[in-house]
Structure 1
Amino acid sequence: MCASERLTGFRKTCLRSDEEPKNDQVYTMYHGTTLEAAQQIISYGFMPSNSGMLGKGVYVSRDEDKAASYPLEEEDRRHQVILELRVNAGRVKKIDYQGHPLQKTWHKRGYDTAWVPPGCGMVASEREEDCVWDPNRIQVIDVVKAPKKSLIYSFFRICQGRLLIQ
């Protein structure tokens, strides 16, 4: 939780995927992954990918359907988990075309999150996507979808309970 979230007037901001994010706001976002990776994320936090369309960072989306398209491999979809996240976006840079001068260097210019708006031609699905540099800006708040016979939802609740007790 960041300092601004502790202020009396703080309110969680829900934003449609086609609305431009504002700096220093906390948004609900989603991340689709495998069961095994979700267990690691819940236990140890996110690990930034070293490469991608926007460079190094954790790739998330405000569009739950976008998150539902991951993992990409069809055989991994049987073990799909969608995590609901609370993301402190910090300073946001809009990247809306291929070859943007800050496409992979936005963090070096002081931005915390890179935002690709939907329908701009950057993503094959035409859906919104975000890349968050610092995984400490991301908190898992719920498991939206998990394989029926997995224990990840219960595992998540147990972990959350431990955090509340401490």
Structure 2
Amino acid sequence: MWAEDDFTLPSGVVRLGQSEPQDGKTYVMYHGTTKQAAGKIRASGFRPSAGGMLGHGVYLSRDMKKASRYPLDHPENQRVVIRVKVNVGKVKRIDSQDHPLRTTWHENGYDTAWVPPNCGMVKSGLEEDCVWDPNRITVTNKKPKHFPEYIP
């Protein structure tokens, strides 16, 4: 079960929709990782990746289906998903590979880059978010679950 209907949203958090994240709002998001990396994240927080499709930042999604696929090069029994709250700050929509701010959105005053669903940027067609500052991210589940289970 992938719906977010199984838990109560924290105060001030907005439920997943297909619309663009709104500036300054807080959303529930998910981060797919390995068991080992999840332990490090719980102990010392997120570390931004040096690069990727959207450049530097922490890659997340409001869609658990997207997060559950990561890391792509690991078998399902080694994957976990961490549920987080994210204050997105100022959001930039990036909807094509040739977008002029695809990797420089932060240098242009944005806190989060958002790839909308079905825009052709990712094969899955699922949305993706990249958050520049890991301090905008708060882990909400104490212990990540393995797949195909849903995070309580």
- TM-score, with structure 2 as normaliser: 0.85
Cα shift readout 1:57-83 (whole Å, capped 9, x = no counterpart):
0000000000010111143x2221111
- 1:20, 1:83 → 2: CA distance? 22
Q: Which residue of 1 aligns with 2:50?
A: 50
Q: Which residue of 2 aligns with 1:72?
A: 72
Secondary structure in structure 1 of the residue aligned to 2:83: strand
| Unmatched tracts of structure 1, length 5 or more | 1-9, 148-152, 154-166
Cα shift readout 1:58-117 (whole Å, capped 9, x = no counterpart):
000000000010111143x22211111100100000000111000000000110000000
Q: Which residue of 1 aligns with 2:87?
A: 88
Counterpart AA for 2:90: R
Residue 107 (1) aligns with residue 118 (2): no
Q: Which residue of 2 aligns with 1:12?
A: 13
- 1:29, 1:137 → 2: CA distance? 12
- Aligned 8 A contact 2:90 2:109 in 1: yes
* Identical positions, percent: 54
- Aligned 8 A contact 1:15 1:21 in 2: no
Q: Which structure dedicates a bigger proportion of its chain to helix?
A: 1
Counterpart AA for 1:15: L
CA displacement at 1:146 relative to structure 2: 2.9
| Unmatched tracts of structure 2, length 5 or more | 1-10
Structure number with larger C-alpha Rg: 1
Q: From the superposition, tell whether residues 74 and 45 of structure 1 become closer, same or farther in structure 2 (CA, over 3 Å).
A: closer
Moved >2 Å (runs of 4+): none
Aligned length: 137
Residue 133 (1) aligns with residue 132 (2): yes
